[in-house]
Amino acid sequence: MRNFKELEVWKESRILAKDIYKLTGDLPEDEKYGLVSQIRRCVISIPSNIAEGSAKDSQKDFLRYLQISLGSSFELETQLLLCNDLNLLKIEKTKIHLEAIELLQKRISSLIKYVKTQI
């Protein structure tokens, strides 16, 4: 079992989740059960899967949860881009978050590569 609280990707994903929750507050009320709900679910999925995977006994299981977390980050990126496409959020508001997501994706990918060497 690993201590997920020591993983930088987990710490960064928690910060991102908090920031995204604030950002989605700017979306229209009629998106409350649409994009807002979906965006919040997937951003919460990122640190949650890192934490859950760290409790697994095998590196292979941990790897699978990291991959799920990475997938959620790409889902989040897509949803923010769609918000821009639909003019629900201004590009200036999402740019910093999109950059943070891309950096987190690189870091999760690096951790995945490292874990693969441990299998």
Question: Domains of the chain: which residue ranges?
Answer: 4-117
Topology classification of domain 4-117? de novo design (two linked rop proteins) (1.20.1440)
Q: Give the mean model confidence (pLDDT) for residues 87-106.
A: 95
Contacting residues for 98 by C-beta, under 8 A, at least 6 apart: 77, 80, 81
State residue 2's pLDDT score: 85
Name the pTM for this structure: 0.95
d(CA 17, CA 40): 8
How many residues make up the chain in this entry?
119
State residue 119's pLDDT score: 87
In degrees, rounded to 5, the angle at the alpha carbon of residue 44 between the alpha carbons of residues 109 and 31 is 120
Give pLDDT tens digits for 29-58: 999 999 999 999 999 999 999 999 999 999
